[in-house]
Amino acid sequence: MNENQDPRDAIITELKDVISSLIEDARQVADVTDQVMAEQDRLHALELENQEYRLNASAIERDSAFKREVNDVYSSFINTQAMILETLHRRRETEPLNPDPILPGLEALSEKIASLNSAVEIMLDGGRPGPLLSVALEEWFSVRSGLGIDQKKIDTDYNRIKDFIEFSGDKPINKYRFLDFQSFANLLARVPASYSVKPEFRDMTQVQAVFHNDNLPLHKQHRTLTGKTIETNYLSPLNMIFHDMCAHHGFTSPLANVTVRISADARDSTARLPFEVAELNRWFAFAALEDRGDNKWLPLLGTVTGARIGELIPLQRKDIYQVEGGHWVLDLTTDLTDIEGLPVARRIKNKSSRRIIAIHQSIVDAGFIDYVKSFPKDGRIFPWPFTTERKP
């Protein structure tokens, strides 16, 4: 089978072939002797049912109602096998000593249906079992570690999926169902936001932490996870791992055609209002009196350039230079340099974070460039977060 082919298409094709084979076998059996004329009506009905199943198989190819249609086929096979076994039993009781030319054909047909029953049972249960989610997680974790994604994000996603495994059990990746995910999301709306850091919850599972928090007096209960945290830190990684690893192992993700909803009881995110101009001016006035360079310049740089503090703190003198026209820029596209002069990868949030930012003339006029020039070429211009060294 082509690796890009949907495995359901192969199953549908096989079902069609077997159905056609069953009809042909039934016709041949009916022609062997006139003794089964009474069964012709049943065979005709079976053929009509099989025609309906073929139409249903076509419908499966057009929409996602796969399991319902295949279940009809499965039920038909069970009924057909029961009919054949009943016929065999009745004929053996009425004519135990007379050899019957129809019996071998009926027995072969019964065996074929029995083997098909087993295959259909596996198919209705989601197909062959895939790897356990815990095994798929280790594969996924290893691959993601080589994609240049921030390791903290990778580790966080790993731990959140571990939480899901602890709640729903470690199953083959294609055996999880909608309610596994929805029940987990419902639980998360009650999980204390401080669950992973508070000593009070040490050694507790999320379920235990929920019940512990629920049983505290109202004024002592811890705030729960916000809807945004549930979506970003839990549901998003689950969608990614099931999308990636089910595709790798040839399954459809159990999250492909469902929507996991976040409870209306989930806490809203804290509303954060932007600084007013007057507030910023007061902040800048206090910052201008600071001796440490990071306390003095980071508020102004962050506000005017829009750069993140995590992007500004590692800056080295070489990252700030003049371009054509005499304009000063801040360069986040190159590697950093360690104390031995070797390149060190600059940690960025995403690809678009690699950029060159113009430095407004007001910052130049305030003395920032003179401040930068006081450092060595490869020296950090904000060394305090990295060392105990003091520089005015």
Q: Please state the separation of Cα 10 from the chain's center in Å.
A: 26
Q: Which domain holds residue 339?
A: 277-372
Residues 103 and 149 in one domain: no
Each residue's pLDDT tens digit, 293-348: 888 888 888 888 888 888 898 898 999 999 988 899 999 888 888 888 888 888 87
CA–CA dist 264, 273 (Å, integer): 23
Residues 138 and 238 in one domain: yes
Residues 101 and 152 in one domain: no
Give me the mean pLDDT over the 164-185 stretch.
93
The domain that contains 308 carries what CATH number? 1.10.443.10
Comparing C-alpha atoms, which of 368, 333, 373, 380 is closest to residue 353? 333
Residues 152 and 235 in one domain: yes
Residues 110 and 139 in one domain: no
Scored b (16 or more CB within 10 A) or e, 279-292 reads eeeeeeeeeeeeee
Residues 146 and 110 in one domain: no
Give me the mean pLDDT over the 204-222 stretch.
90
pLDDT at residue 38 tops 80:
no
pLDDT at residue 53 tops 60:
no
pLDDT at 106: 53
Sign of the Cα pseudo-torsion (126, 132, 135, 141, in order): positive
Q: For the whole model, what pTM was predicted?
A: 0.51
The domain that contains 177 carries what CATH number? 1.10.150
Lowest-pLDDT range of 3-7, 21-25, 267-271, 274-278 = 3-7
